Structure 1
């Protein structure tokens, strides 16, 4: 887990989205992108962090 991924998980949990945080943690730990549920009430800042974390995975793969 990168520091940004850990920070993003904190944001998800702070918003009361523990289930989404668990799914994100599993995905990133396994080197996969995390796609949040469209129905989850995510703040724009958190969505941007998720995009950055997913980008980090693709950047590491190259």
Structure 2
């Protein structure tokens, strides 16, 4: 059963730039990079289930 519908996640340009830096930087801790990728994908308007499938993580992680 799907969860409740959430408000869209909106990122400012500065927030997006920082998250993209964390997601792509080689020296970023892997946990932080994964969280940054999750937030960036959520900002595209996809469902949590779609983001989880896309990134290969559990829906509860998203």
Length-normalised TM-score, structure 1? 0.37
- Higher helix fraction (1 or 2): 1
Which protein shows a greater Rg?
A: 2
Q: Which has the higher contact order (CA 8 A, sep 6+)?
A: 1
Length-normalised TM-score, structure 2? 0.37
